[in-house]
Amino acid sequence: MGARAKAIFPLALVIGVLSYLWTEFSLNFTFHWVTVSGTDLPGAVGVPQNFHLILPTAFISWGLFFAAGGDNAAFGKIFLAAVFGTVAALVTIPLAYKSAAFPDFWGIALWVGVFAFILVMILIAGDWYYVAGTFPCFAAVFLWWVATGMDGWAPLGADAANGGAGGATGLGAFGGLVSTPWAWVWFDTFVTLVCGLILGIVSGKLAALLTPKPKEA
């Protein structure tokens, strides 16, 4: 094994193992462990509660952590990016659907444009603000909002009385199974982004421990 491979292997191994553990944990959490009572039948998945973990979203902040430097400073940068990005989306969604409800998209487009402008303008506050991380976090909320039925904008986009279960096929992922009120979409996304950051810092620390130290001359 060459020197480059020896340097990369520990990080790849740690990330591979943590990716397996996160995938197993998040999917079981969402579809087996924390579900609406009486819906997790043998041989099937259950209806998720409004609070659930979003498997792919953690990989967004995990990747951003390494893109920002993969150190303690990067953790802080991406955490702030997650706060700014997700809160901007939290404000955008109700403004969007109150401006133009289903089937008109212009309200969504208008307010996404407005908050995209605001998020970039915050750069004037200083180098501590990492806009390259803010945008993916902003988008992550919208990704899950669309995937779960666009509650507020689309009719029957979520049915909170049924623990977030959609009222008809096509109103959310898994044929309406994962339909979620929009405020919970934000909260679930933010928590999962923080989980990805934790995976990032843990993977970096473990890889550093496993990476062979250069021999002293």
Q: What is the pLDDT of residues 11-67, one digit of tens each?
A: 999 999 999 999 999 999 999 999 988 888 888 889 899 999 999 999 999 999 999
Amino acid at residue number 90: L
Q: Is pLDDT above 50 for 161?
A: no
pTM check: above 0.85: yes
Neighbours of 59 (CB within 10 A): 17
Average pLDDT taken over every residue of the chain = 90
Crossing angle for the helix pair 72-99 and 106-121, to the nearest 10 degrees = 150
At 212, which helix (H) or strand (E)?
Answer: none
Across residues 188-201, what is the average pLDDT?
Answer: 98
Please give the average per-residue pLDDT across 129-151, as a whole number: 96
For residue 14, how many C-alpha atoms fall within 13 Å in the half-sphere facing its CB? 19
**How far is the C-alpha of 97 from the C-alpha of 100, rounded, in Å?**
5
Two structure tokens written together for 78: 């991406």
